[in-house]
Structure 1
Amino acid sequence: MSTINYNETIPNNVNLSEDKTLQRALEHWQPNYLNWWRDMGPNGSLNHDVYLRTAINVTPEGWAHFGHVKMPEYRWGIFLAQAEENRKINFGESKGRDAWQDVPGEHRANLRRIIVTQGDTEPASVEQQRHLGLTAPSQYDLRNLFQINVEEGRHLWAMVYLLHKYFGRDGREEAEALLQRNSGDQDKPRILEAFNEETPDWLAFYMFTYFTDRDGKFQLNALAESGFDPLSRTCRFMLTEEAHHMFVGESGISRVIQRTCEVMRTFGIEDPEQVRAKGVIDLPTIQRYLNFHFSVTIDLFGADQSSNAANFYTSGLKGRYEETKRDDDHLLKGQSYRILEVAGGSLVEREVPMLNALNEVLRDDFIRDSVAGVGRWNRVIEKAGINFRLSTPHKAFNRHIGGFANMRISPEGQVISEAEWLSKVRHWLPSEEDRAYVASLMGRVIEPGKMANWIAPPPVGINRQPIDFEYVRFN
């Protein structure tokens, strides 16, 4: 079914009404979700009418409807991409067999773990961003924040559906726990450390949506290859929504850079303190934010070598990014991959079995994709005629997971001493003063078409609307 039924309490395209037990269980979970949204969702947004897109179809043609929706009356639901007829498993020991329509008993624990971990990231990002609406630089940006928030909420629904339908009592308990953990909570934090970090300002938000939502793109693509067909179909549709989240990040940073460059050219200044005095964000501070969010995000891919990643692949549960486009046997036994480690005071390459290095394979795919976007930011700086270039730091820099955990590596990839790290870290990562300065710029702008001083307007509006369209109606 490609069309989504909005006549039911829970919108869906999975014929939910035909499974009364499942329907009742999810309708029991729904009030708890709405309570969580009111308590932990976007702060102060309950009476706003927001110009949101809502999925009405899971095919690419005309899949979304745009219109003002009162929050939290957004219709969250369960949407799976269309089934592929006679779909096969494309990798691992079950390669060539029919894709599973139910959970194979021997993979039950691992599949549940994968789904819970992915599901936990979705409400976490909403919690991390819940205060940002109070300091939005424009109505356009406020609307984009809310769009991301409601879609992350829907992605939570996607994982909760799988838990309820395929994992019985264990799944129902896991679904409840997804609402009980909270980002940054001392007693019940989110599973992955990056989702317990604060997102205190809009520069951090743009970096998060560029880098951390890009991690989501790669993780979801790897899960979309899964031999468990319901998970694959769920992730394929989630990817349709995820693209906008990364667009918000890439375009947001681009607009910040554009405004900074405009001020630098207008006043003929380059010194960061002089740039700050004009109320915009200096380029070295943007680089430090980039370094932080890049390094935190690549930790999300896990340890450089992982037996779990090997087991997930061999079992057919989680593939590689664009698995079917790769020209190999899709078994990987006997194949190797080069990873980095520290030896003799420097970084050296070492070959390890590829199956054990699949986290690193996905991390490297992510890094290549991230670098391309940074290149587009640099073209904004080049066009302004300013001699400054942004760059991603070395992948060993500022790591807290894997072989480089807590090792001191410079952004250029040099192994350094603790003393040198302490003397230079404020030039590499945002300092308290950096964050305080950026925070000082965060003042809410809600007049249609107006922008905060530190960011340029977007080139086009949402869904062909003008920039000064009333994206949010404040009631």
Structure 2
Amino acid sequence: MSSINYTDKIPNNVNLSEDKTLQRALEHWQPNYLQWWNDMGPNGSNQMDVYLRTAVSTTPDGWAHFGHVKMPDYRWGIFLAQAENDRKINFGEEKGRAAWQDVPGEHRANLRRIIVTQGDTEPASVEQQRHLGLTAPSQYDMRNLFQINVEEGRHLWAMVYLLHKYFGRDGREEAEALLHRNSGDQDNPRILEAFNEETPDWLAFYMFTYFTDRDGKFQLNALAESGFDPLSRTCRFMLTEEAHHMFVGESGVARVIQRTVDVMRQHGVEDPAQVRALGVIDLQTIQRYLNFHFSVTVDLFGADQSSNAATFYSSGLKGRYEETKRDDDHLLKGQHYRILEVKDDKLQEREVPMLNSLNEVLRDDFIRDSIAGIGRWNRVIEKAGLPFRLSAPNKAFNRHIGGFAGHRISPDGRVLSEAEWAANERNWLPSEEDRAYVASLMGRVIEPGKMANWIAPPPVGINKQPIDFEYVRFN
């Protein structure tokens, strides 16, 4: 691409048209991005006209423009939230000093690492979900999938902007590498293991967007506290879009549950085999999917104790969730936090320095928020008059990172032998048979307003449109 109209093609509020160096970098990067989208983006979707929301500014009337768009023509913009006058760093050794408008030399490597790790998750989720459009349960759901995909693409643009703008040649090389790693690739996988897992079906997609995008919410909120102001402003705007991703997950699982309990009541059945015979997903399988996605996401927060987390906080690079609402000195020296560990074949609490346990603080914030949504799912079951209840497993369950890696812990927090784990694993995590059954239900429904048998319709449409609106036009 020889030239780009920087106002129309790439909506932005970073004066892109006046930054010749950044223009040249993006003119080189954008064609590679579009090639990546063509190769690794939503399968078979390029000619569809999709009813998408596009941000054209950060103002209330500018960040949500709706219309039918071909996804390769989507206007991936670069937006920073409005600047705060005289913004200060609110935590760590730099507390009270002016926020940085450029990268401090001593923090350059750590900031680049933070931005690259966050940026790597954005295209990874698109790659994980690229085949789901072929089995969408409705046009409404297909459109929501594609909306998430283009917004993850825009979030990649947001991170690439920071790399190009503030990190010179290193940043340009990292931006290229973001397009060359691929989810699940044996030779060049994505950085975080959860983003190398397949998303093989729509129940997995809803769980992913509920749990793993919720990890994104907490990570972005922590980065929005950063003393590096461009990163803070970038993440604050990204959070306006992340909320929709979590809505798709929470409402999607709720609709799966609603359809299941409606069928159970209608036919007077509770046995999972009888429920499956009626073509819906039994509640026990939903619980196993929940256990898997919860535990994989909990790992994303990292080790229980981390010197890197302490360094990032003390340096003013990454704060806590809602840092300024916390009633402490925001230095945390001499303060402690209670973490879980395995001792004498039991889970026991131990007090450790809070600075080293900030991953655990953020993980616990995430768990509380996740459990609240599970409670809303349970109200759907309760309203149907059924005794079954979903629950979050213990945070030590099925862990592969941190102090619990290598231990076998049950969902209710008991330390198990390998034999006990092997005898119960299929009761707690999706089996091959579970995944095969869910996969057998996946078949694309494209008639406007129609839903697959295994999911209830949404209560309302998108942007005040009816449920039977033509959200996707197949050309």
Q: Shorter-chain-normalised TM-score: which range?
A: over 0.9
8 Å Cα contact 1:10/1:27 also seen in 2: no
Q: CA deviation at 1:24?
A: 1.1
TM-score, normalised with respect to structure 2? 0.98
Alignment of 1:245-324 (within 5 A): 245-324=245-324
C-alpha offsets along residues 299-350 of structure 1, whole Å, 9 cap, x if unaligned? 0000000000000000000000000000000000000000010111101100
Structure 2 CA distance, aligned partners of 1:71 and 1:77?
13
Q: Which position in structure 1 is the counterpart of 2:367? A: 367
- Does residue 102 of structure 2 align to residue 102 of structure 1? yes
Structure 1 CA distance, aligned partners of 2:261 and 2:17?
56
SS, match of residue 50 in structure 2: strand
Alignment of 1:401-420 (within 5 A): 401-420=401-420
SS, match of residue 312 in structure 1: helix
8 Å Cα contact 2:6/2:17 also seen in 1: no
SS, match of residue 462 in structure 1: coil
Q: CA deviation at 1:70?
A: 1.3
Alignment of 1:5-44 (within 5 A): 7-44=7-44
Alignment of 1:121-270 (within 5 A): 121-270=121-270
Structure 1 CA distance, aligned partners of 2:10 and 2:62?
21
Structure 2 CA distance, aligned partners of 1:20 and 1:87?
28
C-alpha offsets along residues 253-283 of structure 1, whole Å, 9 cap, x if unaligned? 0000000000000000000000000000000
8 Å Cα contact 2:448/2:468 also seen in 1: yes
Alignment of 1:50-129 (within 5 A): 50-61=50-61, 63-129=63-129
What amino acid does structure 2 have at the position aligned with 1:94? Answer: E
Q: CA deviation at 1:61?
A: 4.8
Any stretches of 5+ residues in structure 2 without a counterpart?
none
Structure 2 CA distance, aligned partners of 1:275 and 1:431?
17
CA RMSD of aligned residues (A): 0.8
Any stretches of 5+ residues in structure 1 without a counterpart?
none
Structure 1 CA distance, aligned partners of 2:11 and 2:269?
54
Q: CA deviation at 1:72?
A: 1.1
What amino acid does structure 1 have at the position aligned with 2:78? Answer: I
Q: CA deviation at 1:9?
A: 4.0
Structure 2 CA distance, aligned partners of 1:390 and 1:111?
39
C-alpha offsets along residues 340-368 of structure 1, whole Å, 9 cap, x if unaligned? 10111101100000000000000000000
Structure 1 CA distance, aligned partners of 2:44 and 2:168?
36
8 Å Cα contact 2:6/2:16 also seen in 1: no
Bigger shift: residues 61-70 or 348-357: 61-70
8 Å Cα contact 1:398/1:406 also seen in 2: no
SS, match of residue 31 in structure 1: helix
Q: CA deviation at 1:56?
A: 2.1
8 Å Cα contact 2:254/2:377 also seen in 1: yes
Structure 2 CA distance, aligned partners of 1:468 and 1:76?
28
Structure 2 CA distance, aligned partners of 1:304 and 1:340?
8
C-alpha offsets along residues 98-122 of structure 1, whole Å, 9 cap, x if unaligned? 0000000000000000000000000
Structure 1 CA distance, aligned partners of 2:10 and 2:140?
29
SS, match of residue 134 in structure 1: helix
8 Å Cα contact 2:71/2:150 also seen in 1: no
8 Å Cα contact 1:89/1:227 also seen in 2: yes
8 Å Cα contact 2:89/2:95 also seen in 1: yes
- Does residue 339 of structure 2 align to residue 339 of structure 1? yes
Q: CA deviation at 1:63?
A: 2.5
Structure 1 CA distance, aligned partners of 2:345 and 2:211?
30
Structure 1 CA distance, aligned partners of 2:60 and 2:389?
37
Bigger shift: residues 296-305 or 53-62: 53-62
What amino acid does structure 2 have at the position aligned with 1:443? Answer: G
SS, match of residue 303 in structure 2: coil
Q: CA deviation at 1:124?
A: 0.1
Q: CA deviation at 1:62?
A: 5.1
Structure 1 CA distance, aligned partners of 2:298 and 2:208?
12
8 Å Cα contact 2:50/2:70 also seen in 1: yes
Structure 2 CA distance, aligned partners of 1:153 and 1:373?
26
TM-score, normalised with respect to structure 1? 0.98
Structure 1 CA distance, aligned partners of 2:137 and 2:239?
27
Alignment of 1:379-418 (within 5 A): 379-418=379-418
Structure 1 CA distance, aligned partners of 2:101 and 2:438?
49
C-alpha offsets along residues 204-230 of structure 1, whole Å, 9 cap, x if unaligned? 000000000000000000000000000
8 Å Cα contact 1:9/1:27 also seen in 2: no
What amino acid does structure 2 have at the position aligned with 1:357? Answer: S
Structure 2 CA distance, aligned partners of 1:188 and 1:378?
40
Structure 2 CA distance, aligned partners of 1:8 and 1:442?
38
Structure 2 CA distance, aligned partners of 1:49 and 1:424?
47
Q: CA deviation at 1:57?
A: 2.2
SS, match of residue 401 in structure 1: coil
Structure 2 CA distance, aligned partners of 1:118 and 1:318?
12
Identical residues among aligned pairs (%): 88
Q: CA deviation at 1:8?
A: 4.4
What amino acid does structure 2 have at the position aligned with 1:373? Answer: G
8 Å Cα contact 2:309/2:355 also seen in 1: yes
8 Å Cα contact 1:56/1:63 also seen in 2: yes
8 Å Cα contact 1:163/1:171 also seen in 2: yes
SS, match of residue 463 in structure 1: coil
What amino acid does structure 1 have at the position aligned with 2:31? Answer: P
